[in-house]
A and B are shown apart, each in its own frame.
Chain A
Amino acid sequence: MAESRRIRIDVPALTRVEGEGSLKLSIEQGQITQLQLSIFEPPRYFEKFLEGRAYHEVPDIVARICGICPVAYQMTAVQALEQAFDFTPSDWVRRMRRLFYCGEWIQSHALHIHLLALPDYLGFDSAIAMAEQYPAQVQRGLELQALGNTIIKLFGGRSVHPVGARVGGFHHAPTDADIKRLNTQLEKARDSARALTNWCAQLPVPQDDDSFINVALKHESEYPLYEGTLAGSDGLSITAQEWEQYFEETHAPHSTALWSLYQGAPYLVGPLARLNLNRERLPAEIADNLNNTGIAFPSRNMFHSMLARAVEIELAIHEALELTAAYSVPERPFDDVIPRAGIGFGATEAPRGLLWHRYETDENGLIKHARIVPPTSQNQARIEQDLHNSLQAFGLEHPDDALRLHCEKVIRNYDPCISCATHFLQLELERQP
């Protein structure tokens, strides 16, 4: 009689796609017979309480969806609402939104690499434990995180749920002196970011070769953050308005979070997908350094996600340097918008991947309907698919603890909100005769 190993893994989880989750894994005769990633998110019903709210309240409300990437939610919402009102922001606003967004990428990526992902690779339970043996590297990571927060604070007053963004622009413009000081800090951080990339490139990662569809924004001249068309590695090229024609959200019985599929199939969003699709948009010096690491992009190894994050920190610092060098205080940091009945779409690149919003407004600018598709729900089907392939490649004969750690590492590559917990996968082993 074949031995059947049934493993139940419980996941206490952390943000919008969060709450409790579990991974059910059944292995029989060296084959995975069941693999279900379930996420039990305590829903907070944002889309419903946005209804009846005035457009100008939306940035403050949607920020609360995620404490780690509030800027992404604010920027996507203002973009969508401005489209609904047929309003085009000034060039200054456009550039400063990009700078504001750079702050969030630096902050979120540095947090993820140092506090969440690296301990896996270096054999520690937590960054706190890792800091004793790698004090300089942890310090460097925390400094980068702080730099990202500094950028967000300049425009938002605080880095979590910043208060500076509004439909039409910003409530407040930083002074020349503040921006000059920031520019100096960015200049100093450039080398740290380069060193981080090179360090991440040297860390041994599992060899993985998986086939998946990458989906990310693409822009004619920029590495995409705040703007672009929606592109896929299969040739997809659409506007945010067309999203609903190609993507659908479904609800699996074993999970409370919505899953989204691209023409019925899983797909990848996030740093690796962005870099795979946009490497030709990297500034030459960053691209050259990346080439010198010997790791080729596009990559089919999900474990290169951490390196992609490090490269994006470099990119964000590079962008922020250019944007701050050319800074000038505008006459007014926003233009007035005239609300009207309309429908608007927004798509931007949150640190974790594509974020899509749709709003319908009435003639007074009150929200009639809202729909928000965050990156983690887009990646969920892909995570399950990846776990399946990756566990098989890793070797199912490994002991339970090794399997659990491997699952955690795979899941953390996606930086889903649930990755916030290390050792979140608790194994319950059942053996059947």
Chain B
Amino acid sequence: MSTTVKPRIAVHKFSSCDGCQLAFLNLGGELIELTRRVDIRHFLEAGLDDPDADVDIAFVEGSLSTQDEIERIHRVRKHSRYLISIGACATSGGLQALRNLDNQHDQWRDAIYAKPEFIKTLNHARPIADEVRVDFELWGCPINSRQLLAAVNSLLFGVPPIEERDKVCMECKRQQRVCVMVTDNKPCLGPVTRTGCGALCPSFGRDCYGCYGPSDNPNTESLSKRFAGLGLMPDAVARRFLMINSAAPAFHDAGLIARSTDTGDGDNG
């Protein structure tokens, strides 16, 4: 067995907070175990620097928000057999895709930076799959180590990873949690959000805020009506959808529909 070549992996970072890479670095003893089974070729945060190494699996964190990043993702694609985007930034554009909504990039840049001419960002922050072919996506802000290991293990066994597309609601029911929307009138996004987190927010008695992105067949229209029924003004409904995954089509559209019904008055909290 010692002659077996270990699968090579790389972890790349684009515009992001680094939180999804921690799914590796928080593995503890399992990180050392993982390095016995795979050969990590590039992972800057762990001290491995070989961005153009040919690898079997490339994990990509972050969204594409500069011209340089667009050039770089093509290089990553060229050197990788299998490309997995990890986290909300890579799969939907993430929180920073909020700048795409109203084409506010230039105004925002000029307001924050003393010398905006030094800043070279693109107007839109976009997901990895907008630019190159992505073989598998791990959704979540952040992804967790369980999701990551499940994907790696599947691939090590030569089978495609299983995509979790169920709703948070299903997980919440399995855990026999009390529904925060039914009992407490909280505007929970669990009915339209992809599972994977372990229904953390409802288990803490709070409403899901959609950080894992849209589930399969999300009925956002019906949920928006329910939110209105709970007393949320259109702007508040829009903000529920337009947050961590505002560029994911299902949430993007639901948010814009809610916004378009906003009359501009009333309590927006």
Contact = CB atoms under 8 A, between A and B. Distances in A.
Q: Tell whether A and B belong to one assembly.
A: yes
Interface of A: 12, 14-16, 19-20, 40, 42-49, 53-54, 57, 60-61, 64-68, 70, 111, 115-116, 119, 124-128, 131, 138-139, 142-143, 145-146, 149, 157-161, 163-164, 166, 171-172, 249-251, 253, 255-256, 258, 339, 364-366, 417, 420-424
Given A127-B46, A258-B114, 8 more contacts: A43-B121, A45-B112, A61-B95, A64-B19, A111-B25, A172-B203, A172-B204, A253-B115
B181 interface: no
Contact of B49 (A15, A19, A53, A422): A422
Interface in B158-173: none
B144 A171 contact: no
Contacts of A54: 236, 239, 268-269
A49 B22 contact: no
Contacts of A255: 118
B114 A128 contact: no
B21 A67 contact: yes
B18 A66 contact: yes
Nearest to B269: A364
A49 B25 contact: no
Interface stretch (B2-10, B74-82, B96-104, B220-228): B96-104
Contacts of A111: 25
Contact of B17 (A15, A119, A125): A15
A42 B121 contact: yes
A128 B20 contact: no
B118 A251 contact: yes
A421 B44 contact: yes
Contact of B28 (A145, A253, A256, A422): A145
A148 to B, nearest CB: 10
A218 B109 CA distance: 35
B139 to A, nearest CB: 14
A46 to B, nearest CB: 8
A143 B28 contact: yes
DSSP class of B's interface residues: helix, strand, loop or mixed? Answer: loop
Contacts of A47: 111-112
28 contacts: A12-B49, A19-B15, A20-B68, A42-B14, A42-B69, A43-B109, A43-B119, A44-B95, A47-B112, A48-B108, A54-B236, A54-B269, A60-B243, A64-B19, A111-B25, A115-B45, A124-B47, A127-B47, A142-B29, A157-B203, A158-B142, A159-B26, A160-B19, A160-B23, A161-B19, A171-B205, A172-B204, A258-B113
A255 B119 CA distance: 9
A172 B239 contact: no
B194 interface: no
Given A43-B113, A158-B200, A339-B269, A53 B239 contact: yes
- Pairs A-B, 6 closest by C-beta atoms: A67-B19, A126-B47, A251-B114, A422-B47, A157-B200, A48-B108
B112 A43 contact: yes
B146 to A, nearest CB: 11
Contacts of A125: 47-48
A149 B142 CA distance: 14
A115 B25 contact: yes
A76 to B, nearest CB: 16
B241 to A, nearest CB: 12
B142 A128 contact: no
Contacts of B209: 57, 60
Contacts of B118: 251, 253, 255-256
